Structure 1
Amino acid sequence: MRSPIPDYLAEVLDDCRGGDGGAVADYIPELARANPERLAIALTTPDGATYCAGDADAEFSIQSMSKPFAYGIALLDAGFDAVLAKIGVEPSGEAFNEISLEEGSGRPRNPMINAGAIAAHSLIDGRNAEERTERFRERMSLAADRELHYDEAVYTSELETAYRNIAIGYMLRNHGILDGDPEDVVRGYIRQCSLSVTTRDLSMMAATLANGGVQSATGRRLSGDRAVRQTLSVMMTCGMYDAAGDWMTAVGIPAKSGVAGGILGVLPGQVGIAVFSPRLDAHGNSTRGVKLFERLSDDMGLHLMEVPPVGRSVLRGHDQRGDTHVFGLQGVIRFAGAEAVVREVVEADLPHREVVLDLTRVHGVSDVARRVLLEAVRRLTLHDDKQVTLVDPEGILDDPDAGDGVRPRVIASLDEDRGTPAD
C-alpha cells in the first residue's frame, strides 16, 4: 500500500494553484528573476518522515526564514540575558524593514524584523561576518541533514541594494545594541539570508523545532527546550509581520515567511511544514503559501488553539496471529498518530489476506485521523486485496465508510466471530 499523504498534498497544491495574484520581490534584482509558477509543499514529522509535493527540491534563498534560527543560535551562544537585553519580543505591527526601536532602550522590538535580526546575527559566536555566517551555515546543515551552501548571486545582489539595512546597522550601533562594525554585521546578516534551501530542507528544519530542538532524522540535539519555546513564541506573535493577527486567527501555527516565497510553520510535537511560491502579497508573504497553510490548518485541525500536542505513541505494536496481522492502537489519535500508524502498515510485511486494526484501547479519533485511517482501509482493500477488520467495541470510528463501496467489518473483540458486527 502507498501512503495517501503525498496524494493529499498534491491535491492541495492543485486546489491552491490558481488565482493567487501578487508579484515576485523586485527590490532585490536576483529575486526578480524567480520563476513565479514554482509551487511546493513538504511536511516532516518529529520522528523523521517527510512527505512532499510539487517543486519541493527546487532551491531558493532562505531570506527572513533564517531569522528564527539565527535568534535560536544567538540564545545558545550569548545566553538569554544578553539577547533579551538587546532585542525585545513585542510585535511591531509594522513591515519587516521598518526602523522600529523601543523608546528609551533603543532595542529592536523583536528578532523577526530586520533591526532585531541584524542584532541577533551580531550575537552569534564569531569574530567577523565570515565566522558568524559559517557557524550559521553549519547549524542549518545539521537541521536539514545535508550540506547547505550560500547563493553568491543573491548575496551580491542583495548587498548592492542594502542601503536601508546598513542605515539600520549604524542606528543600532549608535544606541549601543551593536558592539562591532555595523557594516560587517550587516554583511553577515545579508549572507545569512542568502543561504540556499529547498522546501524539503525547510520542513526538516521546522520539524527540528517541532521536536524540541532534536533533528528528526538523526536524533541529534541542536537546541534546548527553553530556546525552542522562546523562538516559537516570537514566531507566533511576530513571524508574519503586520499580518500576524490575521495569521494567528486563520492558521494558528507559529510561522516565518521569506521574500523569496517560502513560509515555514511549526506545530509543536506534531509536524514541521514548509511551502514555496514566489509571488508575494502586500505584507511580503507568499500569496499561494498563505492559502496552502490555511487549507492545511482547516483540513488537518492544526490550529494551535484547537489541537494539543500528541502524547504517548498511539501504536501499541503489531504481530501475526495465525493467518491475521493485528495492529493494536491506543489513546487519542490525531494526525501525527494516524500518520505513524499508516506508515507502520505501509512498511509492514503482510503475507496474509486479513488485517485487523484493534481500537479497543482508543479513546478518541480526530476528524483528520479518522479520514487518514479509513483511506488506509480503502487502499488496503482495493489496491492490496486485503480484508480489513476493525475491533471497535465503542464505535470510535462511527460509520466507517471508506469510500468506493469499501466498509471494513467491525467486531467487538478479537475473540468474536469476525462475521458478526459489533453492537
Structure 2
Amino acid sequence: MQKSHSTDHTDYRNTLDRIFNDISHQPLQGHAADYIPELAKVNPSQFGISLCHSSGEVYNVGDAQTKFSIQSIVKVFSLALAYRLKGEALWQRLGVEPSGGAFNSLALLEFEQGIPRNPFINAGALVIADILVSHWVNPKYTLLAFVRQLANTPSIDFNLSVAASEAMHGHRNAALVQLMKSFGNIHNDPRDVLDMYFHICSIEMTCQELAQAFLVFAHGGQHPITGETMLSLSQTKRMNALMQTCGFYDESGDYSFRVGLPGKSGVGGGVAAVHPGHYSVAVWSPPLNAKGNSARGIAALEQLTTQTGVSIF
C-alpha cells in the first residue's frame, strides 16, 4: 500500500473505540429497510466500523468483518466505471445537482424530461446501469470484478436472495426506467437494466472491504496497493464532489454540515466516506433514519470528524 506523506498523528484506534463504545450504549434509533423484505431480516443491533489509513494501517471495531448488502453505495462504483468508460460525455445524460427530493421520485424525473438530477438518486443510477449494459455482455459481472479489484478481495459476491427480493418489490424502479425510456434516456431493454441494477445493489461486503474499496477516492484515483490509475485526478475530484453534495439523498446538506467528508450511504445500513489524502472509513448499522440513512452510521462519522478535529473543511 502506498505511504502517505501527511503528518497525521491521530490515535485512530482509541478514537474509534471511544466512538463505538459511546454509540453502542445509546438506544437504537430508526428501523431497518422493510420495503426490501430480505433486508428486514438482518439483526438491527449489529454495528461495525473500519478505517483504512493512507499509511496502510487498518483499524476495525465491532462487526467490521460481517458482510452486508451495500445497496446504494454501489452507485459510487458503477459511476466510477461508467466515468472511466465515457469521460465527460457521461454528463449529457444526467446532471450533477442535489435532488432536493426523494431518491426515488417520479415527479422530479417527469419535470426534468427524463434527465436524472444526479447519478446517486435511483433514476441516475439506472441511467448508469443502462450505459454499462450497452457496453458489456455481462455488465453486472464486470462491475463485480471492478469492486473486487478495488477492495483487493476476490470473494466479494452478489446476495441472490436480496437481488430476487428487490426484483419482486422494485415496482417504483421499474416505473423510473419506463419513464426515462419514454424520454429516450434508456437505450436498452428495461428488464436488462433492472436486472443489472438489482444485482449490483445486492453486493455484499464487510466494512473493511468497503473501506478498502473507497481508498481509491482518497488517493487521487490510484489503486492503493497496485498503484494503477483507476480514475484521473479530475475524475476523482468530481466523484468526491458528487459524494459530498449528493451522497445522502435529501439529507446531503445536513450530512455535510455535521460530518464534512465525501461519502455515500445505502439502505442496507452502510455508510462509506473518505478524507482525501488521509483515510477511507466505512460504518454499518442497519436501522435507518427518516431520510433512509444509517442513524448510527451518520452519528459515528460526525463523532469521528469532531473528535479528530479534521474534515475537508
Partner SS for 2:209: helix
Sequence identity of aligned pairs in percent? 35
Post-superposition Cα deviations, 1:98-142, rounded to whole Å, max 9, x if no partner, equal 1232745531000110000000111126556x6111111011001
Match of 2:104 among 77, 82, 97: 97
Residue 251 of structure 1 deviates from its aligned partner by: 0.8
- Distance in 1 (CA, whole Å) between partners of 2:164 and 2:302 is 35
Q: Which consecutive residues of structure 1, in runs of 5 or more, have no partner in the other structure?
A: 306-423
- Tell me, yes or no, if structure 1 residue 256 matches structure 2 residue 264: yes
CA contact (8 A) 1:77 1:123 kept: no
Q: Which residue of structure 1 lines up, in the alignment, with residue 188 of structure 2?
A: 180
- Distance in 1 (CA, whole Å) between partners of 2:204 and 2:196 is 15
- Distance in 1 (CA, whole Å) between partners of 2:127 and 2:247 is 16
CA contact (8 A) 2:38 2:162 kept: yes
Q: Which residue of structure 2 lines up, in the alignment, with residue 118 of structure 1?
A: 126
Partner SS for 1:101: helix
Q: What pairs up with 1:147-158 in 2 under 5 angstroms?
A: 147=154, 148-158=156-166
Residue 8 of structure 1 deviates from its aligned partner by: 2.9
Residue 197 of structure 1 deviates from its aligned partner by: 0.5
Runs of 4 or more, structure 1, over 6 Å off, are none
Partner SS for 2:61: strand
- Distance in 2 (CA, whole Å) between partners of 1:49 and 1:216 is 12
Task: Please give the root-mean-square deviation of Cα atoms over the aligned residues, in Å.
Answer: 1.7
Output the amino acid matched with 2:20.
Answer: L
- Distance in 2 (CA, whole Å) between partners of 1:47 and 1:171 is 47
**Larger proportion of helix:** 2
Q: What pairs up with 1:367-382 in 2 under 5 angstroms?
A: none
Post-superposition Cα deviations, 1:264-317, rounded to whole Å, max 9, x if no partner, equal 011111110110000000000011111101100101123211xxxxxxxxxxxx
TM-score normalised to structure 2 length: 0.92
CA contact (8 A) 1:102 1:108 kept: no
CA contact (8 A) 1:44 1:50 kept: yes
- Tell me, yes or no, if structure 1 residue 219 matches structure 2 residue 227: yes
TM-score normalised to structure 1 length: 0.69
Match of 2:141 among 134, 144, 156: 134
CA contact (8 A) 1:71 1:111 kept: yes
- Distance in 1 (CA, whole Å) between partners of 2:281 and 2:163 is 26
Count residues with an aligned counterpart. 301
Q: Which residue of structure 1 lines up, in the alignment, with residue 85 of structure 2?
A: 77
- Decide whether aligned partners of structure 1 residues 102 and 232 sit closer, same or farther in structure 2, where only a CA change above 3 A counts: farther
Match of 2:251 among 221, 243, 246: 243
CA contact (8 A) 2:210 2:282 kept: yes
Post-superposition Cα deviations, 1:365-418, rounded to whole Å, max 9, x if no partner, equal xxxxxxxxxxxxxxxxxxxxxxxxxxxxxxxxxxxxxxxxxxxxxxxxxxxxxx
Q: Which residue of structure 2 lines up, in the alignment, with residue 298 of structure 1?
A: 306
CA contact (8 A) 1:253 1:302 kept: no
Partner SS for 1:124: helix
Structure with larger Rg:
1
Partner SS for 1:242: helix
Output the amino acid matched with 1:222.
Answer: M
Residue 63 of structure 1 deviates from its aligned partner by: 0.3
Output the amino acid matched with 2:18.
Answer: E
- Distance in 2 (CA, whole Å) between partners of 1:4 and 1:119 is 42
The higher-RCO structure (CA 8 Å, 6+ apart) is 2
Post-superposition Cα deviations, 1:210-247, rounded to whole Å, max 9, x if no partner, equal 01122223323222222211211111111111111111
- Tell me, yes or no, if structure 1 residue 64 matches structure 2 residue 50: no
